[in-house]
Structure formats: structure tokens, C-alpha cells
Amino acid sequence: MKKYFSIITLTMMFISFFTTTTSFAKVDIGGELNITLSGVLFREGEALAYPQGSLDLELYIPPFDNNQIKSAAYLYTNPTTGQMDFMFKKLYFRHKFDKLQLTVGRQPISWSFGSMLNPVDFSLGSVVMDEETGSKYQNAIEAYYPINWNSSITAIAAFSNGFKNVKWAIRGRTTLEGYDLTLNYVREAEQNSTETMIPVSQRIGFSAKGDLGPFGIYGAIGYNFEDIDSGDFSFLAGGDYSYYFESGSKIYFQLEYLSIKEERLSSLLGSLALLDSGLDSESNANLFLTRTSYDINEFSAISLFTISSLNDFSTIIMPNYSNQISNSLTFNCSFAYFSGKENTLFGPGLIGGIQEKPKMTIEAGFIYSF
Amino acid sequence: MQKVKGFLLIGIIMSILCSSLMVITAAEMTAEEIINKRDDNEYFDTAQMEAEMIIASGSRIITKTMVAMTDKKNSLAEFTNPQDRGTKFLKREDDLWMFFPDAEEIIKISGHMLNQGMMGSDFSYQDVMESDKLTDLYDFEIIKEEELDGRLCYVLEGIAKEGVKVSYYRRVSWVDKERFIGLKEELYAQSGRILKETKVNKIEEIEGRLIAVDSVMENKLRKDTYTQFIITQISFNPEIPEETFSLQNLR
């Protein structure tokens, strides 16, 4: 089914592209080459290191006759097989009608509003601590209806598992008194396989972001349910602040609190999810997140993320250093240290009773933009 | 027709860039009239430009390129250099929105972030957004006349009006006495410390206006850094559809 969806999208793109006057000379290719050396240290002292490479390749096609085509491919080293793998991040066609924008094809869908974690995103875990994940990219049809310059309604049908199990969503966005407000509804399709059957799940979410004096503040509330009478809430509250030194440097702080049912953590945290903790899956996990960043100069910065479980006080500490070496070359180095008692959320233990959780990870590499 | 101040990356640069060719006798003019005379040339209905921003720190130099449009108090800028390609900023009144091209997300920038350098440059987001008439924000007076790079200039001091929110408490401007174009400006904190200095390197006549097509801003709090801003193409009063300055157009 996915194949048919891509074929339909491609056909629409080619028909549109070749029946217009767009000049091939204006088409451009750009992207990013990312070469990284990664290392993992386990608690028993075992360590492993491996190189990773990825290539983001985007074809830039100028808009034509209210049409837009976007194509971005992603080649990467599959960490499981060690082989090069390939996926389309974007392969979509967009047409702008007078009052409606229609987008068909593989496209990034996420509803970030500035938080580090987003419990009311289209797909939980699309963006984790500023890092995007694969769940962000969807085969979908999106209808975007702008009401005025800052208000809109978006309807989405996503076909993550073919045309049978369609995920539906609708989202409204507006600005009121300087606050960016969104209200959304997501209906996950029933997932049926030989091993599991996940029933239809639904969510209503609300988010707000704005300023309170010198502070930026934001929050979100989500209500997840199968039946409207029996659901669970997730809450997010956060804020950020910048302090400027006389030297012209700046330090930035961001704090965030999240309460969410434990069973949703694995989706929400993406690759940071190291579950099999002692938490009761029916209870809510309470997380406290911080981000501190300092610009050393115009081109380099250091930052520190932490994410702590308030239930068991386990923590991940993630320092990061980045340096833009030239117009096209950037160096990045990041580190993650997992601390906590045995079988806590981020502490030592086994994932799924098999795989040992890491004690620390380190990644260092270069990004070349072209 | 209501005249409005343009974007031209950016308010502060524009505050020293444009001027008319009219010659007016100095003795007849007050500081406010001089600033208004200079500001009158910054006002246009719409403008569209292509520009380069060269950010230097020590021996390292990074170049960013962009296209920008302005209409009344709204502005839209899109970066076109490889590393930032597709990154867009939309300024509407006092709000700033940013579009991240990879993620295709539109995020509202927190108010406190507006004082930080835009895309690593010495221009802050606040510099971009400060689009009110300078005489509405500052009380100006002529403090002296002096020669700058062979041009006789008025030197004007502006102090922020009480209760008005501005990025810089005090500004000292060198305005060409004959051409009424800003050639240099110093920006100060309330403590008296100099924060930034802008100087014009090159002026060209475009569509009957004198435009500073090459200027440099130095952050005086940092050593060996500057941002050079070069206008490579500009047109005044092109037709820009109203929906250009909307979140839907950021996508």
C-alpha cells in the first residue's frame, strides 16, 4: 500500500512538473552529509564504538503555478544491520487553491511549539529534545485552511500502514493576546497483527505559548482515551529565560515538567526510552527537564540537557558542544550519562529483559552542508 | 498613502542608510527635523531585496545570503545559503515567527530571545523589529558638527523617551549635512557603555534614492567581531500580495 501511495504521489508530481514552464535550470540539489563516531559504554565495562554516516539530500524545485514539489531523501547507516539504508523524508506535492492548501505524499508532520517534549504532537516522539525522529515522516494527505494571517485549521489523514488503518487528525491554530494557541484531535487507527491488537485510541490536545514579563512560558494538556469516559490526562508546563552578560554573551535556561501515563513514555522519548522500570504502567510518570545553553562566540556554543524522573530520581545528563568551522562545516560532540538505581527509568537494568541499558554514550562528528 | 518604514535587515541599518539628495540649510533645521529628513527617506510602501550578511569573528568568516520583503510594518526574510537554506522569519507588529525548513515547523519566538544575535550576527531580532519612527522613540539634539570620511556631518544624540521600550537607551548619529544620509551610528546602554557601532562603507543611488549598499555593524562588547551587510539587489514599491506576511506563506 505504501508503494501505491508513493506511485500516486510521484505520478501527480511528474504530471504537474512537466506540464508547466518550470525551467530545469532553476532546480538545485542541496543537503547535509553527517559523519559521526559513536561509542557506548555499558555498566559491566563493556564498550563498543562504531562509525555512522548519513546523507540528507534535497531536490529544490521552485514553486510553479501555485504548485510545490518537495523531495528529500535520507541515506543512513542502519544501526541494527550496519548496512546503508534509505528512506524518503519528503516526497510530496502541494497545491495552493484560493482558500486551501492540499499536500499529498510523504511529508513531515509535527506540531512542535517550543517545548522539549510534546505530549500533544501528531505522533508522540516526533521531536525529542530538539532531535527529530523517523515517526515524524508520514504518508499523508493534509488539507490546510487559513482563516486569517495567524489562524488556520488543518485536517490530516495519515496512512502509516496502508489505506485500511488511517490515522486522522484535525488541528486549529490561532494567536490571542500574543499567545500561540492550538487545539487538536488525533484518532489512531486500530493496529491488528498476529501478535497484538491495539484498539482505536484518541486524543484531544491543547497547547499555549507566549510571554509573561521577561519569561517565555508554555504548556499543554492532553486527554487520551478509547472511550470518552475512561481516559487519562497528560500535562506539560515549561518556561524559558535568557540572561545577557555585559560581555555580550548570553545564557539560556529552559525548564519543563511533564506528567504522562507511563505506557506512553516509550513513544514520547524515542531513542531515549529505556523502559522496564519499576513504575506501574497505570500510573503517571513525572519528568523534569532542563536545558542550559551558552554561546561561546558567534560560531560555537555549549549546552546541557537533563531529563529526570521524579518518580525514581533517575536522570540522563546530556552535554553538547557545537562549532561552525566554516560556511559549510560544523563540528558536533554530544555525550549522555545515565544515572539511577537498579531498574529505575534511566538507571541500570535490562530492556525487555534482554538488552542491557547503557551507562553512557558519546557521539562526535562533522556535518557538511552543501 | 500611509508611508511605512522598511525592513532592509534591518531597522537599525535602515536608520542610517537612506537619504534624499535635497540640500537644506543647517541653520534652519532642528535635530528633530534632521532626523525626520533622514527618516523620510527610509519610508516606502514596499521593498524587496537580496543581501549578503558576512559574520566575522577573529579570522573566521561565515557568509549568509537572504531575500527579504517588507510591507508596512510586516517583514518576511528567507535565508538562501546552504546551511540555512529555507529558514524564514516573519515579523508581524511585535511578534516574530520562525520557520524551520527541515522540520517544516513554524514556532513563535519568545520575547526574551529578541535581544540575541539573529543567525549568529551582530544584529539582534529586536534590531529587526524596531520599526517605529525614531523621533517617536527618542528625543534628539544636535551636539556638534564634524567631518567624517571627508563629509561634513551633523552629530545628533538621541535619548530614549520615558516609558518607551527601545533596545538602546542612547544613540549618536552622524548625518551627512548635504545629502541627509546616515554615515555612522553608535548605540549605547543606559549605563553609558557603548554596545554597537554601525558604519557605512558604500552608498549607491538606486531608483532615485541614496542607499547604503555596504555597511558594517560591530558589537563593541566583543573583540574582533563584526557583521557586514551588503545589499546585492533592491527594488522599491513592488507589488506584494497581502497574504505574503502570513503564517500560511511561511510554510
Q: What is the mean pLDDT of chain A?
A: 85
The pLDDT value given to residue A12: 57
Q: What whole-number distance in Å separates Cα of residue B20 and Cα of residue B2?
A: 19
The H or E element spanning position A256 is strand A250-261
Average pLDDT over residues A239-253: 84
- Cβ contact, residue pair B62, A211, below 8 Å: no
User: Considering its fold, how many domains does chain B have in total?
Assistant: 1
Q: Which residue has the higher pLDDT, A17 or B183?
A: B183
**Confidence label for A13 from pLDDT (cuts 50, 70 and 90):** low
* Residue found under cell 513554524: B106
Residue A14 CA to residue B82 CA, distance in Å, equals 26
pLDDT for the residue numbered B159? 93
Question: Tens digit of pLDDT for each residue in B64-83?
Answer: 999 998 876 788 989 999 88
- Spell out the residues 6+ positions from residue A141 whose beta carbon is closer than 8 angstroms to its own: A102, A103, A104, A156, A157
Q: A179: nearest CA in chain B? A: B108
pLDDT at B2: 37
We report the CATH number of the domain holding residue B155 as 2.50.20.10
Backbone angles phi, psi at A25, to 5 degrees: -60, -25
- Residue to substitute from A145, A207, A294, A298, interface B, most B β-carbons within 10 A: A298
Say how many CA atoms lie within 13 Å of B179 toward its Cβ.
19
pLDDT at B134: 77
How far apart are the two ends of chain A, measured CA to CA in Å? 34
- Tell me whether B72 touches chain A (CB under 8 Å): no
pLDDT for B8 equals 39
Q: Is B144 in CB contact (< 8 Å) with chain A?
A: no
> Among B44, B86, B80, which residue's Cα sits nearest to residue B240?
B44
pLDDT tens by residue, B31-67? 888 887 777 666 677 889 999 999 988 888 899 999 9
Q: How confident is the model at residue A310 (pLDDT cuts 50, 70, 90)?
A: very high
The residue of chain B nearest to residue A215, with distances taken between CA atoms, is B112
pLDDT tens digit sequence for B103-144: 889 999 888 887 777 777 777 776 765 656 777 888 888 898
Q: CA nearest A130: which of A109, A146, A112, A107?
A: A112
Q: In sequence order, which ranges of B41-171 are alpha helices (DSSP H)?
A: 125-129, 134-137
Is the model's pLDDT at B11 over the cut of 70? no
| CB within 8 Å of chain B, chain A residues 199-238 | 209-211, 214-216
Give the CA-trace dihedral at A193, A196, A199, A202, to 10 degrees: -90
C-alpha–C-alpha distance, residues B37 and B47, integer Å = 20
DSSP label at B13? H
Query: Does A297 contact B at CB distance below 8 Å?
Result: yes
CB pairs under 8 A between A and B: 113
Whether the CB of A328 is below 8 Å from some CB of chain B: the reply is yes
CB atoms within 10 A of CB B123: 24
Q: Which of A73-77, A95-99, A158-162, A210-214 has the lowest mean pLDDT?
A: A158-162
List the single residue in B63, B102, B108 with the smallest CB-CB distance to A180.
Answer: B108
How many C-beta atoms lie closer than 10 Å to residue A242's C-beta?
A: 20
Q: Report ipTM (2 d.p.).
A: 0.82
Domain that holds residue B100: 4-250
What cell numbers appear for B193 in the block? Answer: 557603555
Q: What angle is formed at CA A259 by the lines to CA A253 and CA A264, rounded to 5 degrees?
A: 115
DSSP secondary structure letters along A259-315: EEEGGGHHHHHGGG-----SS-TTSEEEEEEEEEEEE-SSSEEEEEEEEEETTT--E
Say if residue B3's pLDDT is above 50: no
B223–chain A Cβ distance below 8 A for any pair: no
